[in-house]
Structure 1
Amino acid sequence: MTINQSLLNQVRAALGSSINPNLTARSQIFDLFEAYIFSFLIEAARSELNVDIDYIDTNNNKATTFTFRTSPGQIFNGLYTHAEITFQRKRPLEAHVGVRVSGISKVLHECDLLIVEKSEAEFCRNNSVSPQSSKVMLAVECKYYSPRNFGIKLAREFLGLTNDFSSNCKYYFVYNTTSSSVEELLAHHKNGRWFRYVVPSQLNDVDLLKSEFKNAIKNFIASKKYSI
């Protein structure tokens, strides 16, 4: 089985039988990789009791196809699908792929994946503005590279992004390969959360990331800050 097909199978399994992704085994590997990591967020949310997950299209209807963005855009435009996640007595959340977020400096940054409060997402759609990083619960930078092209520049870019994001947001750097120089730099900066070898063949590394996402969801549920 090809890596593309393996990633796609995981995405389909996580979304469930009621909806299919617009991606195929012929889609670009980096688009499939983002969808693959997105599927872990869905699984993490679904692992909790009393959760409702709906897939919503641009017209605010339940989607019949999950349309993943294949290039970054604004949360208030473009034809795409997002997941709406609701836990009992908690502010509802939305999970998105490929949207821009406003940092502390007010500069816009591209986020491959993010979970944001639904109220913030609705405000942004209604007013054509980007989400504030202080309203983002979790963001993920996804990188699928060959080992020879995975360099320290990518780690520097990630660390720069974390410095412009609110401390309210947990920001993750997730990639398919490894690099001693990249990981030495990331390990030196404690505000960076990084996960390597996240591919179907590396089950231990995949499970580490899945556990991290589940813990992030558990902390959200336990926090009085997000109660209603």
Structure 2
Amino acid sequence: MSINYSLIKGIRNRLGNAVNFGANTSNATSDLFEFYIFSIIIRAAQNEGARVYYEDIYGRITNSLTFRQSPGQIYGDTQRFTHAVLNFGNNKPLLEAHIGIKVKGQAQVAQECDVCVLYREEASRCRRKREQPRSSKVLIVAECKHYSSDLPLDLARSFIGLNSTLTRLEGDCYFVSNSTSKNVIKLLANKPHKWAHYIVPGKTNNLNKLMYAFQVNFQDFKARY
């Protein structure tokens, strides 16, 4: 079974059969890996009691899921890109989960977020005003890296740079990969960062640990309200 087939199977198991993977994604494993991590976040939210539904860029509820395959703006409307709405009930603020949007970090510098969970109020404001979301309104960021070899050390250094510009993040920034390397682990383990390696279909323990970490973010969010 190819890795792409395994990723697609995992995505469909969590999100259903309505995901539009795009014409080129059969060969774009990195895109599928982002979709896969997105699906784990959605399952974590559901495990914490969220009702999840999907909307397009215009706020219309949809069952046809189209995700970005390159970084873009949350207000971008070149396609009817899809985001998830997470409703935890009890008058708690709504959240949205996105793939491939840019977020404003320190000094107003835009940072690309592979997968991102933020407050719906902020997302709606940014779509209306055509602005990038503020990092202080973001709950989860996942930097997703799929490599067929050991991870280069530069990826960990870039992640640390990303994390340092998102210092006002309400929740956590995660470095998530299918692979690893000794030097990358050493660097990330000695910093206050969240990381998860060997995240691949079939590695149940690793997948569960990552999902539970996301659940803690949602649990903390619920406790604040």
Normalising TM by the smaller chain, what interval?
A: over 0.9
| Per-residue deviation, 1:52 | 2.0
Report the equivalent of 1:120: 122
Check if 1:180 corresponds to 2:182.
yes
- Kindly provide the CA deviation profile for residues 184-220 of structure 1, in whole angstroms up to 9, marking residues without a partner as x: 0111111x10000000132211111011111111111
2: distance between equivalents of 1:20 and 1:32?
Answer: 11
TM-score of the two chains, using structure 1 as the length reference: 0.92
Q: Is the 8 A contact 1:178 1:197 kept in 2?
A: yes
Structure 1 unaligned spans of 5+:
none
| Per-residue deviation, 1:21 | 3.2
Q: Is the 8 A contact 1:133 1:169 kept in 2?
A: no
- Kindly provide the CA deviation profile for residues 153-183 of structure 1, in whole angstroms up to 9, marking residues without a partner as x: 0000000111111142310000001100011
Tell me the matched-pair count.
220
Q: Is the 8 A contact 1:135 1:169 kept in 2?
A: no
Report the equivalent of 1:68: 67
Check if 1:59 corresponds to 2:58.
yes
Report the equivalent of 2:10: 10
2: distance between equivalents of 1:167 and 1:139?
Answer: 9
- Kindly provide the CA deviation profile for residues 3-45 of structure 1, in whole angstroms up to 9, marking residues without a partner as x: 111111111121135x333357724100000000000011011
Superposition misfits of 4+ residues, deviation over 2 angstroms: 19-25
2: distance between equivalents of 1:205 and 1:64?
Answer: 29
Q: Is the 8 A contact 2:55 2:84 kept in 1?
A: yes
User: Considering only aligned residues, what root-mean-square deviation do their CA atoms show, in Å?
Assistant: 1.5
Question: Structure 2 residue aligned with 1:92, among 88, 91, 94?
Answer: 94
2: distance between equivalents of 1:114 and 1:101?
Answer: 9
Structure 2 unaligned spans of 5+:
none
Identity over aligned pairs, percent: 39
TM-score of the two chains, using structure 2 as the length reference: 0.93
Q: Is the 8 A contact 1:100 1:108 kept in 2?
A: yes
Report the equivalent of 1:48: 48
